[in-house]
Amino acid sequence: MALSGIQIYKLLPQTNCKECGFPTCLAFAMKLAAKQVELGACPYVSEASKKQLAESAAPPIRLVTLKADGSEVKVGNEVVMYRHEKTFYNKPGLFLRVRASDPDLAKKVAQADAYKVNYVGMDFTLNGYAIEADGDLASAVKAVREVTKRPLILISNDAAALDSSLSLLAGETALIYAASESNYESLAEVAKKHKAVLAVKADTLDALADLTQKIQAKGAEDMVLDLGGKNLGDWLMRSTQVRRLALKNFRPLGYPVIFFAAQNGVEKEAVYAAHAIAKYAGFVVIDTFAPEMIYPLLVLRENLYTDPQKPIQVQPGVYEINSPKPESPVLVTTNFSITYFAVANEVEGSGLPAWLVVTDAEGMSVLTAWAAGKFDAERIAKAIKGFNVADKVSRKRLVLPGHVAVLSGEVEEELPGWEVRVGPREAVDLPAFMKQALN
């Protein structure tokens, strides 16, 4: 069970050395109890205390990692029920299920593996593939490995088939699905031998908790849970219960969850997958490869697993839009991703060339950054000079966002020789402004 702050304090050296970054050992103990710091921050804690504190310091949901050649998926290590309490850390892996008996197996995997979509500067793809052993599993693994290097889930109850297939994945960490009361001993041995992650399923949460303890006793440490349930509502209730119990340090259920979105047919697959992403699934397995379904799921996942206390940022710098020429205007904005893409997309869509200077405003929007003192004349001038914008243009025209028109005079003082113009307040009005005012 987790230790309280006072119990942790009794195991610390109690020297108040401040080397951990806190004024007292008690303050550090309270932060450790809240899982807001790592035990390693204390340089003087004894080995005996480290061992005793290990359980208390460990995240309530075990970190599980699937690895392949140059690709990995990490799930778990979550510490809150709701993302606004702190943040969610490891995004659920989205896996496409394919069948070993499919004659077009390699072709389908290659098509899905080539899928990539850019969203606010990030490339989204599928995370891996789940191979259903309704045929020769080993042959299917070979075929899939010829076209992709992404992590795999192997679905079979045959320990021998899993053993031979995992032998083809040396150096990788795959997930095998699934151990139950009837076969957990043999599958646990296979998982332990190949250092694979083992999915565990049972009819009730009580039975599931008993089973994870039996498997752990067999030496298989990394597990994920299949919560079952008669329908989506039943699964959502179980998923919420498991999350609450895990956060209360009930270790037998402190593992990531796997969910099969097409368990009740593909008609509602996207809806089921979206619910699973939002409600604590660690791995979501889909049966349908359809970009129009996958894209919104990936965007939903990204939004949920973005730290609510840290805005999404783009790299400060000079961005060329529509192949600008030396006489093209210079636009200025902040590095808040939504602001950047709103401006860039409007200008790009207009077909008008421009230089877009993105200043470091710590990921804040224009008005927020200006109010916080992170987007002022000095910072704008520093960006113009630091990125050598003057060397790229023959006509020094600088366009400020309309919301910070008050800065125009100060920017002129900071940048002698530059013509400073005030642009529109909204990005959607930029094309018309550029056509009418900058020609």
Q: Which two tokens stand for residue 59?
A: 């995240």
70 and 197: one domain?
yes
d(CA 392, CA 424) in angstroms, rounded, equals: 24
Query: Which CATH number fits the domain that encloses residue 39?
Result: 1.10.15.40
Question: Is 310 domain-assigned?
Answer: no
Task: Give the span between the Cα atoms of 428 and 341, in whole angstroms.
Answer: 11
Give me the tens of pLDDT residue by residue for the chain, a chain 439 residues long: 567 788 888 889 999 999 998 999 999 888 888 767 878 888 888 888 887 777 666 788 999 999 998 799 999 999 899 988 888 999 999 999 999 999 999 999 999 999 999 887 788 999 999 999 999 999 999 999 999 999 999 999 999 999 999 999 999 999 999 999 999 999 999 999 999 999 999 999 999 999 999 999 999 999 999 999 889 999 999 999 999 999 988 999 999 999 999 976 667 899 999 999 999 999 999 999 999 999 999 999 999 998 887 777 888 999 999 999 999 999 999 999 889 999 999 999 999 999 999 999 988 999 999 999 999 999 999 999 999 999 999 999 999 999 999 999 999 999 999 999 999 999 999 999 988 876 6
Which domain covers residue 18, as residue numbers?
A: 5-57
Same domain, 173 and 289: yes
Integer Cα distance of 286 and 266 in angstroms: 9
Asked if 206 and 227 touch (Cβ cutoff 8 Å), the reply is no
Q: Domains in the chain: how many in total?
A: 3
Residue 147 within any structural domain of the chain: yes
Q: Do residues 153 and 122 share a domain?
A: yes
Do 283 and 197 sit in the same domain of this protein? yes
Considering the domain architecture, whether residues 332 and 299 belong to the same structural domain is answered as no
**Integer distance in angstroms from the first to the last C-alpha of the chain?**
70
Residues 185 and 264 placed together within one structural domain of the fold: yes
Q: Could you tell me the pTM of the whole model? A: 0.76
311 in any annotated domain:
no
Q: What are phi and psi of 430, to 5 degrees?
A: -65, -45
Residue bearing tokens 């052993």: 133
Within this chain, do residues 285 and 333 fall inside the same structural domain, yes or no?
Answer: no
